[in-house]
Structure 1
Amino acid sequence: MTARGEGVTGARYALGVREILAAAVEEELPAIQKAAELVAHSFAREGVFYVFGSGHSHMFGEEAFYRAGGAVRVCPILKGPHMLHEGAVRSTVLEREKGHAEALLEGYRLEGGRDVLLIASNSGANPLPLEVAGVGRERGVPLIAITSRRYATSIERPGPRLHDLADVVVDNHCPPGDALVELGSGLPACGPSSTVVGMTLLNAIIVEALGIQLRAGETPQVFMSANMSGADRHNSRMVREMSSLVPHL
C-alpha cells in the first residue's frame, strides 16, 4: 500500500502506518503466538533470544536489548561494519555480499535446543541475513523472521527468501520499497514503514513470551527503567546473571 490523497504528507504517512500496523497485528497474531512460544521455551531453559538485522534492521537488536520493560535474556548480534555508524554505504555492500555470516556470529553461543534466533529483514532477499539464517539452522536454533513477503516475492532475483527458511514468519505487511507516501511524478516515494511496524511486532512477541512464562508458573525476567525505585539493584542482579552470555553487557 502507498498512501495517497489530499492533505499534509506527514498525516498521510501516519495514517498509512496506522493502517499497515492494524492489518499486521490482526493477521499476524497466530504467528506472534508461535514465535512467543519458541522464545518462552528458550527462556524457561535459560536460553538466549538472539536478534539480528543488518543496515537499519540492526535497530531490532538494539530495541530488544537491555530495554526498560524488556526481557533480560536477549542478546543483539551487533558488529560495527554491518550497522550504519562505521559506514552506511559499506554496510549495504556487505549485506549483499556472500561469506560474512560465520565471522559475524563469532562470539555468540547460538546453541540448538536452548537458544532462539530472530532475523529482521524487510526484503528477505539479501545474502547476509539468509546466510545467518542458514548458520542458525545448521546449529539447530529455531528461527523467527520479521519480513515482508510481498517485498520479498517482488524482487526478481533467484534463490530463497528469508520467509522460506524460517520456522515462524511474522509478516510486517509493508510494501515493496518500504516507503508509503508518493511525492509526485518522477520522485521516489518517502516515509519508511518497516521499522515502526516491525518493532511493534517484535515487542509483541517478547511481551507474549513473558506472559506465557507467567501463565506457566515461571518468573519472567524483565529490566526496569534506570530511574525507577530499586532499578539499580534489580538490573545489576540481572546483568550479573547474563554477562557471561551477552558480550554487549
Structure 2
Amino acid sequence: MNKYYEKVKGILEQCFQTQQKDILKAAECGAQAVMANKQLFFFGTGHSHMLAEEVYYRAGGLKNIKPILESALMLHEGGTKSTRMERLEDYAAILLDEHKVEAGDVLFIISNSGLNAVPIEMAIGAKARGVKVVALTNLNHSAPAKPRHRSGKKLYEIADIVIDNCGLPGDAAVHLDAIGLSVGPTSTVVGAFIVNAMIVQLVENLIAAGFVPQIYLSANVEEGDEHNAKMIESAAAERQGG
C-alpha cells in the first residue's frame, strides 16, 4: 500500500509539472466551445469509460458535458467482450452519428494504450467532422508500441491536443518480485485529476471571459434537485429551439 501511494504521488507530481501546458490548452479549447454553445464529449473504452462518467452530471459538473457510453465497449457485458469490441474497426462512425458529434464540438478521448481501433477511429472521424480532439493517453506505453490500426497511427499522433497521464507501460505500478507481476494501476486516479483539473480551469476561463457557466450541484444537498432540474429543462428548451 505504501509503495502504491508513493507511486501515485510521484506520477501525479510529474503529470502536474509536465502536462500543465496541454491541460491549459484543453481547458481553453473547451471554454471556446462552451461559449459557442457546443458540446464537450467524453469517450473511453474499457476502464477508461469511467473517466467519461467521472465528469458527467455530478457535483461541480458542466451542463455542456456529454459522455459517449456504449455498453459493449465498457465492462458491463464482460471484460473479454469489451476488449474484442474496442479493437473492432468501423464501429466508431456509428457512435459519432448516434451522438450527433458535429463541427465546433470538442471530443475528449481517454485511452491508456492509444492503440485500439475504436478510440483511433473516433479521433479520425471526429476531426473529419471539424471537431477538436483532446487525447488523454499514456505515452510511455503508446509511443514505443507497434501500431494496431490499419492507418498505422496511434491516438496521440492524431489528436489536436495530447495530455500524458505519465503512467508506466502496462499501467500497473507496483511490481511484486514474489510473483513476478505488477499491481496498482494509476491511469484512473491520475486521469480523474487531469479531467477535473481541466474542467476547473475551463470554468475559470469562462468566468474571466464574462460568461456564466451552468454548473450542476450535488443531488444530495437540499437545493440540488431543484437547481439541476432547472438546468435540464433549460437544456431541453435550447435543443427544441435549435
TM-score (norm 1): 0.91
Q: Aligned residue for 1:198?
A: 191
Partner AA of 2:81 in structure 1:
R
Residue 10 of structure 2 corresponds to which residue in structure 1?
A: 19
Asked if 1 retains the 8 angstrom alpha-carbon contact of 2:147 and 2:153, the reply is: no
**Could you tell me which residue of structure 1 aligns to residue 207 of structure 2?**
214
Report how far residue 156 of structure 1 moved.
2.7
* Partner SS, residue 40 of structure 1: helix
Q: Give the deviation of 1:184 after TM superposition.
A: 1.3
Residue 176 of structure 1 aligns with which residue?
169
Contact 2:27 2:198 in 1 (8 A): yes
Mapped pair 1:148 → 2:138: yes
More displaced stretch, 93-102 vs 118-127: 93-102
Map 1:72-87 onto structure 2 (within 5 A).
Answer: 72-87=63-78
Match of 1:117 among 104, 107, 129: 107
SS at match of 1:182: strand
User: Structure 1 vs Structure 2: percent identity of aligned residues?
Assistant: 39
Amino acid at match of 1:104: L
Q: Which 5+ residue runs of structure 2 have no aligned equivalent?
A: none
Segments of structure 1 that go 5 or more residues without pairing to the other structure are 1-9
State the shift of 1:150 in Å.
Answer: 1.3
CA distance in 2: counterparts of 1:19 and 1:240, whole angstroms = 43
Q: Hey, what's the Cα distance between the residues in 1 that align with 2:226 and 2:100?
A: 27
State the alpha-carbon separation in 1 of the partners of residues 132 and 24 from structure 2.
14
**Would the alpha carbon gap of residues 146 and 245 (structure 1) be closer, same or farther in structure 2, given more than 3 Å must change?**
farther
Deviates more, 1:150-159 or 1:21-30: 150-159
Q: How far did residue 243 of structure 1 move?
A: 4.4
Q: Distance in 2 between matches of 1:20 and 1:149?
A: 13
- Amino acid in the other structure paired with 1:75: K
Once the two structures are superposed, what CA deviation does each residue of 1:75-121 show, in whole Å capped at 9, x if it has no partner?
000111111011221000011121211223342121112x1100000
Q: Is 1:136 paired with 2:126?
A: yes
Give 2:10's aligned amino acid: E
Amino acid at match of 1:206: I
SS in 1 for 2:219: coil
Tell me if structure 1 keeps the 8 A contact 2:217–2:228. Answer: yes
Conserved 8 A contact 1:119-1:145: yes
Deviation at 1:155, TM superposition (A): 1.4
1:161 to 154, 165, 184: 154
Once residues 195 and 53 of structure 1 are traced to their aligned partners in structure 2, the CA distance between those partners, rounded to angstroms, is 11
The one-letter code matched in structure 1 to 2:31 is A
Q: Number of residues paired by the alignment?
A: 236
CA–CA distance in structure 1, aligned partners of residues 88 and 237 of structure 2 = 31
Residues 110 and 136, structure 1, Cα contact 8 Å, conserved in 2:
yes
RMSD over aligned CA atoms reads 1.6
Change (3 A) 1:129 1:61: same
2:114–2:154 Cα contact (<8 Å) kept: yes
- Kept after mapping to 2: 8 A contact 1:109/1:245: no
Secondary structure, aligned partner of 1:189:
strand
Name the CA distance, whole Å, in 2 between partners of 1:134 and 1:147: 16
SS where residue 151 of structure 1 aligns?
helix
Letter in 2 for 1:150: N
